Amino acid sequence: MATSMSFFLLLSLLAFAPLCFCNYFQEGKLYPQFYDYSCPQAQNIVKSILAKYVQQQPRLAASILRLHFHDCFVKGCDASLLLDSSENIISEKGSNPNRNSARGFEVIDAIKAALERECPSTVSCADILTLAARDSVVLVSTSLPSLMVIWFQKNVASGGPSWEVPLGRRDSRDASISGSNNNIPAPNNTFQTILTKFHLHGLDLVDLVALSGSHTIGNARCTTFRQRLYSQISGNGKPDSTLDQYYAAALRNRCPRSGGDQNLFFLDYATPYKFDNTYFKNLLAYKGLLSSDQILLTDQESAELVKSYAESNDIFFEQFAKSMIKMGNISPLTNSRGEIRENCRKINS
C-alpha cells in the first residue's frame, strides 16, 4: 500500500513539474531565478559590494539608481551607458544628461570584477546594474546607515520597497549618444514632453509619478534648476511662482545667477539619505527642487497620485516596485542578442 501511494505521489509531482519549470525557463523571457544554477552567489555579491561603497559614500545609492534610469531610457536596459568611447563607439557618458553628473561606474566595475572571479562570462552588466539599482533603494530605506553592511550580510528585510528582479538581460555592443541626448527626460521639459518620453518606452502616467519618487534621494546641480530661481525665461528676475519663496531664498544663497554651476543641492532637503515618500510631501508644500518635479501638480490625475503617495508610504513603495520592474523590462537583449561583457566599459574583442 505504501509503495503504491509513493508511486502515485511521484506521478503527481511529475505531472505538475512542467507547469512549474515552464514559468521560470521560457526562452527569451526574464525571470528572477536566471542565475540560480549558473551563478548562485550573484545577487549576494552585488549586495555586499554595493553596501560597502554606499556606507562610505551614501550619495552613491542615488547615483546607481540614476544610472539604471538613464540606461533603460536609451535603447532599453542593455548597459549601453556603461561603455566608454572607443574607435567605433561614442559613449553616452558624454551626453547632456550624463556629462559631469553620471557617476558610480567604479561600483559597477568592482561588482563585475568579483562576479567574473566567481563565475566568468555569466552575469551581464545590464543585470548587475538592474540589481544594484534595486539594492540601492532597499539600502537607503532605513535611517540607520551604520547598519547597512550588517543588513546585507544577514539579508534581513529593512521594511523598504523591494522586489524580485527579473534577470537574463544581455549587454549591447554599441551605444547611442543621440538617444541619450533626446530620450531622457530633462529637468526643464514640459509635463507633456516628459509623459511622451515615458510613453515611448511603454510607461504610463502612474509610472511617471511613482518613478519620479526616486528623487527622494540624491542631489541636483545648481545649473539644473537656476532658471526657477531667477526666471530667466520671463526676465523679471523673480523666483518661479510655484516655488516656496522662503525655500527659493535659501537656494539662491548657494546657487547664484551666474557661477556655481556644479554646486550640489539635495533633491529632498528633509530626508536626503532615506528612501521614503517625503519627496511627495515636499511637492505639496511647493518645495520641489526641479521644474520637472513640481510640474507633477499641474495635471489633475498626476496631482492626485502625488497626494496619494504623500499620504501613504506603503502605497508609494508598492507602486514604485511595480514601476521599477516595468522599466527594467524595457527592450532587454536576450537569447543570442548582444553579449555578456567581460568588462562593462568595453565590448568583448
Residues 176-187 pLDDT 10s: 999 999 999 999
Lowest mean pLDDT among 149-153, 183-187, 196-200: 149-153
17 pLDDT above the threshold of 50: no
pLDDT(1) > 80: no
Give the residue numbers of the binding site: 71, 74, 76, 78, 80, 92, 185, 215-216, 268, 271, 276
Catalytic positions, written as ranges: 70
Average pLDDT over residues 29-48: 97
Q: Euclidean distance between the first and final Cα of the chain, in Å?
A: 63
Binding residues for heme b, by number, are: 215
- What's the rounded mean pLDDT across residues 89-114? 96
What confidence score (pLDDT) does residue 145 get?
46
Q: What is the chain's mean pLDDT, rounded?
A: 88
Q: Give bridge partners of residue 171 from the DSSP assignment.
A: 339
Q: How confident is the model at residue 235 (pLDDT cuts 50, 70, 90)?
A: low
The whole-number pLDDT of residue 232 equals 57
Which residues sit in the known binding site for Ca(2+)? 71, 74, 76, 78, 80, 92, 216, 268, 271, 276
Q: Which three cell numbers stand for residue 274?
A: 532615506
What pLDDT is recorded for position 239? 85
Per-residue buried b or exposed e for 161-187, using 16+ beta carbons within 10 Å of the residue's own CB: bbbebbbbbbbbbebbbeebbebbbbb
298, 234 contact by CB (below 8 A):
no
What confidence score (pLDDT) does residue 48 get?
96
Beta-carbon contacts of 68 under 8 Å, excluding residues fewer than 6 positions away, are 77, 129, 130, 132, 133, 327, 328
pLDDT for the residue numbered 131: 98
Q: What is the spatial distance between Cα 71 and Cα 86, in angstroms, rounded to a whole number?
A: 18
Residue 54: pLDDT over 50: yes
Is the pLDDT confidence value at 43 over 60? yes
